[in-house]
A and B are shown apart, each in its own frame.
Chain A
């Protein structure tokens, strides 16, 4: 595949993978009202768990202690659960202390940074800074033997979008279910929800875990696509991009999240390569692109803080 088709497939794959992250973050922030500026913690936990569960025993140049050689699908699901535990573990003490949304944002940010630093410094977990390479190589070889690069790319896209659609459907059901309604009630007024007998902390922690699960699943698919994981995959900029996409598209609206992710991480990040450029501009293009994204975010917050596709307020018909 060449030219436009390859471009479209890349955009679609990235949008699907980060769309899953966006859905998870939207559950926490859009519906739960809990700011998770360190959402890359769950994403990274998924990447690293999937890596360590699929790679074989450490080779001569490896420092990591253990590789489990599990099948990919099982490793990805385990990654989701580990991510859900990590996300909940970071947020629970802060939620328990009843800190404000801003402080929760700071705590999650700090949590993600702690995780990234530990993974970078400890060689025995996953090789530290250089990271682990050759993740999912068995699957890649199989796909290349059976249909080449195009088949592989298409397969990854199909897997990612199938998971995205499933996640979307599950979270839509969750949103409409009593669970989701209580979570939104807590967002609006936690005291009132507590007075109605709901265990606020329990619902908040569970929501964090649910969101974390989906970010972890996305991390697992992403690491297999990349074939490698390093602590740099967990830089705060990744969290920022997802947060920006969710808020730009519309917090509390899963369609808005999809829109935001496609526009920001898909089209804007990938699309600028088709602009006519000189060498000078090409060098600074990544920076210009992100400046445009940041400017768009500021304008949306200024003139339409609810996002491009805002949350649909449900109306009860009597």
Chain B
């Protein structure tokens, strides 16, 4: 058994940050639309490949490609909602869940047909790929950027949800859609902005995910389980819950490496999900009886 090292905690924090970006997006969307959108994973894949196409294939600078990707995926997310999910919004939650499974199946095979199963990597500028030694821990510029990005996103999200009209409308609708509609909040508008925001976060998260590893058409299918786990552990519909859930999932994954085979990281994350569900079915910050 390897000795305890601070590095594992740092790696856990980085994993948690990557998951958290997407977890916040998924949980906001699940809170408003009242179902688990499994095809969110494919939006993540789209984000990664969009950044790849802009920055590698078309040689845009990376920091121009990322915002463009966020816009592209946000539009795709809204488009997906309009074509598939909005017409079915009065169905049962399980119908929507299975439909999103179908969308996920459709898109991941479309990505395979388009990009093949070849593994690709993003080119990142030197200042991101350089390693820095802080104490005993070696981390890259990318890692630092991702952790910083999560902190900034959380602060912006807090301001948006607390101070702006759209944010307040989102919180109200997630709490009680009927009551929110009675007070004059337009649910269509709230849903539109939520899917837009969730899509942008999927694009950003997918890019981060690709920067810490590699690109392949099934990357979204692989990560959606971890995102879903962190959302459920944290409490569906609550962005701070998603942060907490991502922390639990990321930490348990990286800390488990000290005790067991690293190949079982994924299994540990799911075990954490199952245990968390049994101890607190509504999640850390969730409401009882929601989804």
Chain A residues within CB distance 8 Å of chain B: 35, 37, 93-94, 96-103, 105-107, 109-111, 113-114, 117-118, 120-122, 236-237, 240, 243-244, 247, 284, 286-288, 290-291, 293-295, 297-298, 301-302, 305
CA distance A102 to B277 in the complex (A): 12
Residues of A within 8 A of B94 (CB): 35, 101-102, 105
CA distance A16 to B38 in the complex (A): 29
Give how many B residues have a beta carbon under 8 Å from the other chain's beta carbons.
Answer: 40
- Interchain Cβ contacts under 8 Å between A and B, 29 examples: A37-B101, A93-B274, A97-B277, A99-B281, A102-B35, A102-B93, A103-B291, A105-B94, A105-B97, A107-B274, A107-B277, A110-B274, A114-B271, A117-B264, A117-B267, A118-B264, A121-B261, A247-B98, A284-B113, A287-B110, A288-B113, A293-B105, A297-B105, A298-B102, A298-B106, A301-B99, A302-B87, A302-B88, A305-B91
- Judge whether B45 is part of the interface by a CB distance below 8 angstroms: no
The 0/1 profile, CB within 8 Å of A marked 1, for residues 88-122 of chain B is 10011111011101110110011011000000000
Given contacts A302-B88, A305-B95, A102 and B291 within 8 Å (CB-CB) = yes
- In the assembled complex, the CB of A204 is this many whole angstroms from the nearest CB of chain B, namely 16
* Cβ–Cβ contact B113 & A121, under 8 A: no
* Cβ–Cβ contact A113 & B109, under 8 A: no
Stretch at the interface among B132-140, B199-207, B225-233: B225-233
* Cβ–Cβ contact B266 & A294, under 8 A: no
Beyond known contacts A96-B278, A117-B264, A298-B84: 12 more, CB 8 A cutoff:
A99-B277, A101-B94, A102-B291, A103-B232, A107-B274, A110-B274, A113-B270, A114-B270, A118-B264, A244-B102, A290-B109, A305-B92
Residues of B within 8 A of A121 (CB): 261, 263-264
Residues of B within 8 A of A111 (CB): 270, 274
Residues of B within 8 A of A247 (CB): 98
Residues of A within 8 A of B264 (CB): 117-118, 121
Q: Per DSSP, are chain A's interface residues mostly helix, strand or loop, or mixed?
A: helix
CA distance A34 to B232 in the complex (A): 18
Residues of B within 8 A of A118 (CB): 264, 267
Q: Per DSSP, are chain B's interface residues mostly helix, strand or loop, or mixed?
A: helix
* Cβ–Cβ contact B225 & A113, under 8 A: yes
Chain B residues within CB distance 8 Å of chain A: 35-36, 84, 87-88, 91-95, 97-99, 101-103, 105-106, 109-110, 112-113, 221, 225, 228-229, 232, 261, 263-264, 266-267, 270-271, 273-274, 277-278, 281, 291
- In the assembled complex, the CB of B195 is this many whole angstroms from the nearest CB of chain A, namely 17
Q: Which residue in chain B gives the minimum CB-CB distance to A104? A: B277
- Which of A100, A287, A297 contacts B291, CB < 8 Å? A100
* Cβ–Cβ contact B270 & A97, under 8 A: no
- A99, A106, A111, A243: which has the most chain B beta carbons within 10 Å? A106
CA distance A294 to B99 in the complex (A): 9
- In the assembled complex, the CB of A303 is this many whole angstroms from the nearest CB of chain B, namely 10
Q: Which residue in chain B gives the minimum CB-CB distance to A118? A: B267
CA distance A109 to B270 in the complex (A): 9
Q: Which residue in chain B gives the minimum CB-CB distance to A246? A: B98
Given contacts A109-B225, A114-B267, A117-B266, A294 and B281 within 8 Å (CB-CB) = no
